[in-house]
Structure 1
Amino acid sequence: MWRRREKMRLIKPPVEYPLETKYRPVLESLVPRDPMSRFNLKRGSPKEEFPDLDRNYTCMGRILTLHMYTRQFNRATESGVIFDDIIRPGIEEPGQLNGQMTVGCVAGDAQSYILFCDFFDRIIEAYHDYKVSTNVIQESDFNYDNLKGGDNFDRAYAVSCEVSVSRSVEDYCFPTHCSRGERRCLLSLAKKALEQFGEEFPGKLYSMEELSESNEEKGIIMKTLPPSLIQIGVARDWPDARAVWVSKDASLSVWLNFEDHLRLVATRDDANIQNAFECICVNLLKLEHLYKKLRKPFIWKAHLGWVVSSPAEVGTGLKASIKVKLRHLPQHKRLPNVLERLRLHMETTDCAGVYKISNIQTIGMTEVQITQLVVDGVKLLIAMEKRLENNGGIDDLVPTQK
């Protein structure tokens, strides 16, 4: 005890400087505060606030536990995104037992992926079947010449195609969380970039009010607000600061302030996905350069690649799809297993007998590899359809597990 008291005497109190004492309130105000401390949320304990996930069939519903929820409960990003904001889409739309698997969550800003990494990394791993690691860098490949066979589909089966890619801009919250002011700034920024972009690739910017029946031939008609935008919170203040830029030849459109800050979409009526992919690669790189000139680069993290609002699209942000006529294959008992092995998703369309085939994974592969996966998969599905038309079997065509 004596030694302890003697040691305490040797510790000198901090020296007080007059100016430091005078300006202490100012100095303390400069210290960054925990964002959560700024809120006065009337909430119970994590156990009391934990959502009911009994009939939730999303990735979020299968992964989230009370222990994980408790760890995230008192965290908030600098822009004010809390964990309940992130999981709300999956709570409001819990999915179906035998329906398509959805992630059931959405990020409010880029910092969400860092602050809530325990949760998001598990979501990405479950949805994409890809192990997130800070030691692995997501690679990109925009050399469209590396894509093979995207221009020679059997047109009796392949109807049309679409390639899209999403991007988010540094220093802005995602559309699920951004303010009206941020959304309007993003639109003004896009107008500046697209004005220069249009000098080489002519087009026109349409507001939501201008999207009418007269634009139907351009493929941009929007008669009603998509329910998906309402569920994830993107429809706030609709249609303020939303717009679509469409090229003069209608081959490319750029959607602004929808699910993400911008989404480039290339469509073709002849299923030539080679040309659609080339259109995306060339023009995406041009827009990326223009945004960098404006000192607003797209968000990129080494281990996640291109960061967007949904963890279902991080990595490349790329979705490639082909519409295919199939009569026999959709009824075949092995189809679900085939699609799982090909890592593809198939959904119905407005046209009977026509199905949309697209990639599920967007991370862990390059843009070329993802599009090649769709090309090769669709050709295999067409080969199976032809076999079934002639009363043949498809067992020998079923791919091995990838």
Structure 2
Amino acid sequence: MWKREKMWMIKPPTEHPMESRYRPVLESLIPRDPMSRFYLKRGSPKDEFPNLDRNYTLMGRILNLHMYTRQFSRATESGVIFDDIIRPGLEDPGLPTGPKSVGCLAGDAQSYILFCDFFDRIIESYHGYKVTSDAVQQSDFNYDNLKGGDDFDEVYVLSCEVSVGRAVDDFCFPTHCSRGERRQLLTLAKTALEQMSEGPTGKLYSIDELSHESDDRGLVLDSPPSSLMKIGVARDWPDARALWLSKDGSLAIWINMDEHLKLISFRKDANLQEAFKTVCIHLIKLEALYKKLRHPFIWKPHLGWVVSSPAEVGTGLKASVTVKLLHLAENKRLDDILDRLRIQMEETGCPGIYKVSNLQTIGFNEVELTQLVVDGVKLLIQMEKRLENNRGIEDLVPLKKTERTAVRL
């Protein structure tokens, strides 16, 4: 008798047909509460609100107590809380002058969804691009669509670089990933790079190998870059970090640094067209291989290629050209010109030498962004030549900012 009652007690309750039908729908509407899985000894949002005095990042400018309170009790499924998101900007508050910094990093892909009211404002402020649910980010890796970039005036242009970052699905981003995740990412990268093409086209170096001099590369890395230390990405250094270098030196692929993967093509001959082509060819191959390994690159229709930094969502692409601009750098209209061309100029530490690149990475596809840099650099050089001869540049200034219409579903 006892056994029979006991068996009855552990039987599932009877379910009615309608309840069985709608249960999955109802359960999907119940938000998960990962914060209930652990207890953080924190005060109220007001008690925990960070000191943003002399914080010159976009995070420091946008964040207020009301917004902080709304985000305070949220956490992604992997345990990323809002304080993790803004910590990079608190560790490195930026400078009152110079390139603007977003001051925040996503801990995983879900961060962009859970903390969307914060991230969308950061993206809008940094890129000048309104994030909407019905807009779709476009991609174009057809390097033949790029016009120019191989014909810069060598008197003014010194070098160029194209870089693209990618994040791998099912893994936390570098600020939040565990040692185990980082090692799995390195294993995936090794597998993909070995399959990328037939024959030995490149070599993978661990960070330990890079800490020693070698004749087959022009790089020595014996300690983590300060930029990675400031944003909390240098944890467990140098565990599971690596660099792949092509045999011809045209491409470098960093693994587990500021992003899961970062492809960089640097050229001393300033052939931006060739650098863009190199990145596109290898990126397409790697994307196919990671899909085959069932860990595709992260893509969200309204954000494009998602990476840890909101400064690089959309395409993850930065195209830059190092240019000699002695006269234009002193012109009072320079900031307005750069804004209209949608490009930025950064000092290199050498007088008169600047790095010109795209600021925006979302709202344009890869070819369009690189084209902005190509056309912008050519126009800046034309202006520089005018100023060298004491001539005006007003007729060369673009009438308005380059327009871009969002693609909608």
Same fold (TM over 0.5): yes
Corresponding residue of 1:128: 127
Give the 3-state SS of the residue equivalent to 2:11 in structure 1: helix
CA contact (8 A) 2:99 2:346 kept: no
Q: State the Cα distance separating 1:223 from its structure 2 match.
A: 4.7
Q: State the Cα distance separating 1:325 from its structure 2 match.
A: 1.3
Point out the more displaced range, 126-135 or 210-219. Answer: 210-219
Corresponding residue of 2:19: none
Give the 3-state SS of the residue equivalent to 1:400 in structure 2: coil
Alpha-carbon separation, structure 1, partners of 2:327 and 2:178: 49
Alpha-carbon separation, structure 1, partners of 2:257 and 2:291: 21
Corresponding residue of 2:11: 19
After superposition, residues 132-143 of structure 1 pair within 5 angstroms as 132-143=131-142
Corresponding residue of 1:108: 107
Q: State the Cα distance separating 1:201 from its structure 2 match.
A: 6.4
After superposition, residues 204-353 of structure 1 pair within 5 angstroms as 204-212=203-211, 214=213, 218-353=217-352
Alpha-carbon separation, structure 2, partners of 1:114 and 1:224: 34
Residues 331 and 251 of structure 1, relative CA distance in 2, 3 Å threshold: same
Corresponding residue of 2:65: 66
Corresponding residue of 2:184: 185
Q: State the Cα distance separating 1:225 from its structure 2 match.
A: 2.2
Residues 337 and 81 of structure 1, relative CA distance in 2, 3 Å threshold: same
Alpha-carbon separation, structure 1, partners of 2:200 and 2:216: 19
Residues 216 and 392 of structure 1, relative CA distance in 2, 3 Å threshold: farther
CA contact (8 A) 2:98 2:346 kept: no
Give the 3-state SS of the residue equivalent to 1:255 in structure 2: strand
CA offsets 1:25-52 (integer angstroms, 9 cap, x no match) = xxxxxx9951111121111101111111
Alpha-carbon separation, structure 1, partners of 2:59 and 2:365: 26
Alpha-carbon separation, structure 1, partners of 2:59 and 2:196: 39
After superposition, residues 137-176 of structure 1 pair within 5 angstroms as 137-176=136-175
Corresponding residue of 2:391: 392
Corresponding residue of 2:51: 52
TM-score, normalization by structure 2:
0.89
Alpha-carbon separation, structure 2, partners of 1:341 and 1:224: 40
Residues 264 and 219 of structure 1, relative CA distance in 2, 3 Å threshold: farther
CA offsets 1:109-131 (integer angstroms, 9 cap, x no match) = 00000110111011100100000
Alpha-carbon separation, structure 1, partners of 2:299 and 2:306: 6
- Paired-residue identity, %: 69
Alpha-carbon separation, structure 2, partners of 1:217 and 1:400: 49
Alpha-carbon separation, structure 1, partners of 2:365 and 2:200: 26
Give the 3-state SS of the residue equivalent to 1:19 in structure 2: coil
Alpha-carbon separation, structure 2, partners of 1:201 and 1:128: 40
Give the 3-state SS of the residue equivalent to 1:105 in structure 2: coil
Residues 216 and 395 of structure 1, relative CA distance in 2, 3 Å threshold: farther
Alpha-carbon separation, structure 2, partners of 1:326 and 1:265: 25
Please list every run of 5 or more consecutive structure 1 residues that lacks an aligned counterpart in the other structure: 1-15, 22-30
Aligned residues: 378
Alpha-carbon separation, structure 1, partners of 2:104 and 2:214: 33
CA offsets 1:119-162 (integer angstroms, 9 cap, x no match) = 10111001000000110110000111111111111011111110
Q: Give yes or no for the alignment of 1:365 onto 2:364.
A: yes
CA offsets 1:309-334 (integer angstroms, 9 cap, x no match) = 00000000000000111211112222
Q: State the Cα distance separating 1:343 from its structure 2 match.
A: 1.6
The letter for the 2-side match of 1:370 is: L
Give the 3-state SS of the residue equivalent to 2:66 in structure 1: helix
Q: State the Cα distance separating 1:233 from its structure 2 match.
A: 0.9
Alpha-carbon separation, structure 2, partners of 1:350 and 1:129: 28
CA contact (8 A) 2:93 2:103 kept: yes
CA offsets 1:199-242 (integer angstroms, 9 cap, x no match) = 25600001111115645884543354221101111000011000
The letter for the 1-side match of 2:11 is: L
Alpha-carbon separation, structure 2, partners of 1:68 and 1:150: 44
Point out the more displaced range, 158-167 or 333-342. Answer: 333-342
CA offsets 1:162-196 (integer angstroms, 9 cap, x no match) = 00100000000001100000000000010000011
Alpha-carbon separation, structure 2, partners of 1:216 and 1:84: 44
Corresponding residue of 1:43: 42
CA offsets 1:361-391 (integer angstroms, 9 cap, x no match) = 0000000000000001101111111111111
Alpha-carbon separation, structure 2, partners of 1:216 and 1:327: 36
TM-score, normalization by structure 1:
0.90
User: Which aligned runs of 4 or more in structure 1 are off by greater than 6 angstroms?
Assistant: none
Give the 3-state SS of the residue equivalent to 1:161 in structure 2: strand
Residues 340 and 201 of structure 1, relative CA distance in 2, 3 Å threshold: farther
Q: State the Cα distance separating 1:17 from its structure 2 match.
A: 6.4
Give the 3-state SS of the residue equivalent to 2:385 in structure 1: helix
Alpha-carbon separation, structure 1, partners of 2:260 and 2:388: 45
CA offsets 1:33-72 (integer angstroms, 9 cap, x no match) = 5111112111110111111123222111111111111110
CA offsets 1:262-291 (integer angstroms, 9 cap, x no match) = 001111111110111111111100011111
Residues 118 and 216 of structure 1, relative CA distance in 2, 3 Å threshold: farther
The letter for the 1-side match of 2:79 is: G
Alpha-carbon separation, structure 2, partners of 1:364 and 1:217: 40
Corresponding residue of 1:26: none
The letter for the 2-side match of 1:316 is: T
The letter for the 1-side match of 2:230 is: Q
CA contact (8 A) 2:361 2:369 kept: yes
RMSD: 1.8
Residues 129 and 352 of structure 1, relative CA distance in 2, 3 Å threshold: same
